Amino acid sequence: MLAIGPNDRLYLFHEPTDMRKGFDGLSGLVRNHLKENPLDGNIYIFINKSRDRIKLLRFEGDGFAIYYKRLESGRIELPPRVNEEKKVKIDHATIMMMLQGIGLMQCKKYKRFSFSSVHKRSF
């Protein structure tokens, strides 16, 4: 079962993907286009050209798992692209909004505490 937690690293492949691709095809995109190791446990997200289908790929230690969703109506809104990068790192809240059909541009995300923003202090 593919579960997404708040500490998972998620990467969106920002190019349209042929949804006929399975485990090997998606792993090849991760390795060849994103220059990442598909066995690293990260979650890789792929969306088709019409943005009505989404696949999430993850290696779970003993094999790959794919989550596949096809919308009956509507489209998946993508987060903005930075510097024409092929991959965009997204957080747990963003993927949940994408999967639930919540508009990313209309939502305002307020600043929250994170360990990465804390400067080391000497005592």
Report helix, strand or coil for 24: helix
Of residues 105 and 19, more confidently modeled:
19
Residue 21 within any structural domain of the chain: yes
Answer yes or no: is pLDDT of 123 > 90. Answer: no
Summarised one tens digit per residue, pLDDT across range 52-80 is 999 999 999 999 999 999 999 989 988 88
The total of structural domains in the chain comes to: 1
DSSP 8-state code for residue 40? S
- The predicted pLDDT at position 82 comes to 75
Q: What is the mean pLDDT of the chain?
A: 86
Residue 118 within any structural domain of the chain: no
Residue 2 within any structural domain of the chain: no
CA dist 36 and 58 (Å) reads 12
Range of the domain at 96: 10-105
- The predicted pLDDT at position 1 comes to 59
**Element at 10 (helix H, strand E):** strand 10-13
Count CA within 13 A, CB hemisphere, residue 30: 27
Share of the chain above pLDDT 70, in %: 85
- The predicted pLDDT at position 83 comes to 81
Q: What is the mean pLDDT of residues 26-54?
A: 96
pLDDT band at 104 (very low <50, low <70, confident <90, very high): confident
pLDDT band at 117 (very low <50, low <70, confident <90, very high): low
pTM above 0.85, yes or no: no
Using the structure block, give the residue that is written with the tokens 């994408």: 98
